[in-house]
C-alpha cells in the first residue's frame, strides 16, 4: 500500500517589517543606552558596571555601545556632558539667591538620585574622568555681594553644599534615625528643603544694622 507523503503545515504569510524595524533609530538607541548606563553606574559604580549588563538593560546589542560611544568610558563621559548641559540650562542662574540655587540642586537630587549615587561611587572607587579644579568664581562673586560671610572659604562652603544636597541619598539610615521620617517621604523632603534654605541663609554676611 502506497503511503502518502506527509504534508508540510501551511506557511504563515510573512509580515512586512514595520518602519521602526526596517531602520534602527539611532537617537532612540542612544537614549536607551545612556539611561541604562546611568542605572548601572548608579548601582555599581564605573568599575563595577559591565558593558553587557548595560546592553541587556537597554535591550540592545552591546556592539552599539562601541559604535555610538566608543565603549564604556565614552558612555560615562557622555553622561557627564549631559549633566553639565542640564545643570547650565535648568539649575544655574546667577540672578537666583544662593539658598534657592542650592535648593534647585536638592530638588534635582530628589527627582533623580542616580547622578548623586554615581558621584558617591566615584568618591569610593574612582571614575573614568579626570576633572579640572572646581570653578569657584561664581561663589566668590556671591561672597562679595554678602551672600556668604567674608571669613568663610568658598571651597569649604562648596563642599558643605555638596554634602547637604547628597546627604539624603548617601545616608538614608541617618535620616530615619535623626528625623524619624523616610527620606523619600514628602514630609521629610519639605522639612529638609526648608532647613537647607535656613542653613544657607545663616552663612550670609551679617549686615551692620547702622
CA 32 to chain CA centroid, nearest Å: 15
Cell of 189: 523632603
CA–CA separation, 152 vs 144, rounded Å?
11
Sign of CA dihedral 28, 29, 34, 39: positive
Q: Please write the tens of the pLDDT for every residue from 51-81.
A: 999 999 999 999 999 999 999 999 999 999 9
Cell of 29: 538607541
Q: Please write the tens of the pLDDT for every residue from 87-141.
A: 999 999 999 999 999 999 999 999 999 999 999 999 998 877 788 889 999 999 9
Q: What is the CA radius of gyration of the chain?
A: 25
| DSSP code, position 90 | I
For residue 174, CA distances in Å to 83, 103, 171 come to 27, 20, 5
- The H or E element spanning position 27 is helix 26-48
Q: What is the pTM of this model?
A: 0.83
210 band by pLDDT with thresholds 50, 70 and 90: low
Amino acid at each position: 500500500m502506497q503511503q502518502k507523503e506527509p504534508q508540510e503545515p501551511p506557511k504563515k504569510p510573512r509580515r512586512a517589517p514595520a518602519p521602526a524595524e526596517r531602520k534602527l533609530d539611532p537617537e532612540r538607541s542612544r537614549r536607551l543606552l545612556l539611561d541604562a548606563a546611568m542605572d548601572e553606574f548608579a548601582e555599581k559604580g564605573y568599575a563595577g558596571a559591565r558593558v553587557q549588563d548595560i546592553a541587556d538593560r537597554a535591550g540592545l546589542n552591546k556592539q552599539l555601545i562601541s559604535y555610538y560611544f566608543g565603549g564604556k568610558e565614552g558612555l560615562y563621559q557622555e553622561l557627564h556632558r549631559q549633566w553639565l548641559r542640564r545643570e547650565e540650562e535648568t539649575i544655574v542662574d546667577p540672578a537666583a539667591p544662593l539658598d534657592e540655587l542650592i535648593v534647585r540642586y536638592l530638588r534635582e537630587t530628589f527627582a533623580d538620585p542616580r547622578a548623586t549615587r554615581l558621584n558617591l561611587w566615584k568618591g569610593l572607587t574612582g571614575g573614568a574622568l579626570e576633572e579640572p579644579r572646581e570653578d569657584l568664581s561664581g561663589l566668590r562673586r556671591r561672597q562679595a555681594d554678602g551672600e556668604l560671610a567674608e571669613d568663610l572659604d568658598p571651597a569649604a562652603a562648596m563642599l558643605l553644599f555638596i554634602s547637604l544636597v547628597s546627604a539624603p541619598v548617601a545616608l538614608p539610615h541617618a535620616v530615619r534615625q535623626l528625623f524619624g521620617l523616610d527620606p523619600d517621604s514628602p514630609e521629610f523632603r519639605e522639612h529638609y528643603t526648608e532647613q537647607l534654605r535656613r542653613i544657607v541663609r545663616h552663612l550670609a554676611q551679617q549686615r551692620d544694622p547702622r
